[in-house]
Structure 1
Amino acid sequence: MKVLKTVSLAILGTALAVSGTAAQEKTVKIATEGAYAPWNFTGAGGKLEGFEVDLANDLCARMKVKCEIVAQDWDGIIPALNAKKYDAIMAGMSITDERQKVIDFAGPYAAGPNGFLVEKSSPLAKMPGTGQAYNLATQKEAAEKAIDAVKPVIKGKTIGVQGSTIHANFADKYLKGTAEIREYKTTEAHDLDLAAGRIDAVLADATAILGTLEKPEFKDYVLVGPSISGGILGAGVGVGLRKGDDELKKSFNDAIQSAVKDGTVKKLSEKWFKIDISPKG
């Protein structure tokens, strides 16, 4: 009886220890926009889906933490992070000098191209530079020459961009005064206005545009223009974090490097975008 009692107590102790460990498991709360397909979007039944939702869950597993993913409107996503409503942001957010003044970043975990979405029958469909890529950080002269070549084509046109994004900043710096720049709260909103003929083009991340092109109502649209990166367009997409949260930053960086190295980021990007947008170098 004594042996049985000892074994029973040992089993009970183990169960309590496991239960205690589970109860103490750290939860990392990650915000995403939920309106930027295929990066992140709200699917059937209000479930958050997309490239970043899959990647966030993978990174949390590598960090051995519980992952809680919540939706947050884009225009309040950084203030809410700094107000400690969640721990991190994964929402197609590019790493820029301007953002680094108020938050920190881990990564990048993605580096995607960009371009213009236009109707196939539009004069803009013949935009110069289509299929060519330039980096404002390493090819400034060539990149700005490619931008200048676009200006005669878009002169007097109305271009939609999502507000508070690198594309809005780019349009303000390089295209303002040539074209009318109209800002929208979400990419879905400017896509709807494009389809309704209220604007002539959308300037956005090419991966988001490719997602739009998969919709039946956009079968007569096309991605055009030079792909510009670097400089004002940032150094890739990363995890937004509060300044001083160094331990979490290291955990994310280690997990991201592991996911890039073993091909997980490549696999997920090809699943959602049909192209590899994993960071190189």
Structure 2
Amino acid sequence: MTSTRTTAPRRRALLAASAVGLLAVTTACSSVDDGGNETGGDDTAGGGTLTELQDSGTITVGFAGEEPYSFQDDSGELTGAAVALNEAIYGELGIDSVEGTLTEWNSLIPGLNADRFDSISAGMSILPERCEQAAFSEPEIMYTTAFLVPEGNPQNLTDWQSAVDADINLAVMSGAIEAGYAEETDVQTTQVGSPQDGLDAVTSGRADAFALTGISLRALADNTDAPVEATDAFVAVIDGVPQIGAGATVFRDEDTELLEAYNEELESIVSDPERYAEILGPFGFTEAERPVEGLTAEMLCEGDLEAIADELGPELGLDA
């Protein structure tokens, strides 16, 4: 899904690969390389990275190529809802150019901590085990789950329990939250590396369905001629606990000043429904994906989903 955004002017990167290396020629704001970039993280009390990025005017973000969060369009340009949000926020911070490093999902946090890029722009779910490895911004996107299934939904999948009861083989992205759901509920899985791999697993019959976030699967189903459809989205319930989830931009632990500056600008967008819709709406995001008031990264990092449901149940649309 592509769109015209009104944040910072965008520029393109032309990539030319040869047997001896890769030459990336960047001509403006949003661009992509293959993962070989070294940006040099800062470990001096968190103050250095923001200043360095403002001085250079460019930030490099790691992304995993999942539409509609962060992906390359048909021209090879970096785009997506997470990227658009990053561009709006970094632009306010005096960083006008957002460049992308395409990275396998499981390598995003390791790549960040190895200074291959400055932050992660992939709509990554805030999970306790991830919070031990890196620092998450406040919630940017609320998550629900869905299944990509053959046309007609032959297994009649409607929620997570229906997948458990149907005894299916479920495609899940390696390292994604749905893989954790499957492990906790003993659902047989086929691990895949990307949304396209998940689609291929379903269309080839290697998997009965593919589990991912609802908005990702809607985009995937809309952009393929394959005989598949996305089920209605739902909040997965595991062992009686609603799996409340939200995605965020991710930073190195030491980059505290950059994180705080980002969160300050993020709050002004998330608290404004019209501005949130202006930035993320072109990628299919609605009011349902805007984080509810009161939900914080700290709450999600602590991982007490029952407490979150008790405190914010009505705001989250959960039954009392």
TM-score (normalizing by structure 1):
0.76
CA deviations 1:189-225 (Å, max 9, x no partner) are: 1111212222110110001001012124245423147
- Residue of structure 2 in register with 1:201 after alignment: 209
Question: What 5-or-longer segments of structure 1 have no aligned partner?
Answer: 1-21, 130-146
CA deviations 1:200-259 (Å, max 9, x no partner) are: 101100010010121242454231474327979564111111112110110110111112
- Residue of structure 2 in register with 1:137 after alignment: none
Instruction: Work out the CA distance in 2 between the residues paired with 1:26 and 1:123.
Output: 51
- Residue of structure 1 in register with 2:22 after alignment: none
Question: What 5-or-longer segments of structure 2 have no aligned partner?
Answer: 1-52, 294-320
- Residue of structure 1 in register with 2:71 after alignment: 41
CA deviations 1:50-87 (Å, max 9, x no partner) are: 11221111111122223332123222111111011221
Which protein shows a greater Rg?
A: 1
- Residue of structure 2 in register with 1:171 after alignment: 182
- Residue of structure 1 in register with 2:144 after alignment: 113
Residues 1:247 and 2:277 aligned together: no
Instruction: Work out the CA distance in 1 between the residues paired with 2:244 and 2:285.
Output: 23
Residues 1:161 and 2:192 aligned together: no
* 84-93 vs 229-238, which moves further: 229-238
Change beyond 3 A, Cα 1:192–1:255: same
CA RMSD for the aligned pairs? 2.5
- Residue of structure 1 in register with 2:82 after alignment: 52
Residues 1:83 and 2:114 aligned together: yes
- Residue of structure 1 in register with 2:92 after alignment: 62
CA deviations 1:116-140 (Å, max 9, x no partner) are: 111233432x2345xxxxxxxxxxx
Equivalence map 1:132-143=2 (5 Å): none
- How many pairs are equivalent? 236
* Greater helix share, structure number: 1
Change beyond 3 A, Cα 1:182–1:232: farther
Identity, % of aligned positions: 19
TM-score (normalizing by structure 2):
0.67
3-state DSSP of counterpart to 2:140: strand
Higher relative contact order (CA 8 A, sep 6+): 1
Instruction: Work out the CA distance in 2 between the residues paired with 1:236 and 1:228.
Output: 13
- Residue of structure 1 in register with 2:124 after alignment: 93
3-state DSSP of counterpart to 2:75: helix
Instruction: Work out the CA distance in 2 between the residues paired with 1:225 and 1:273.
Output: 14
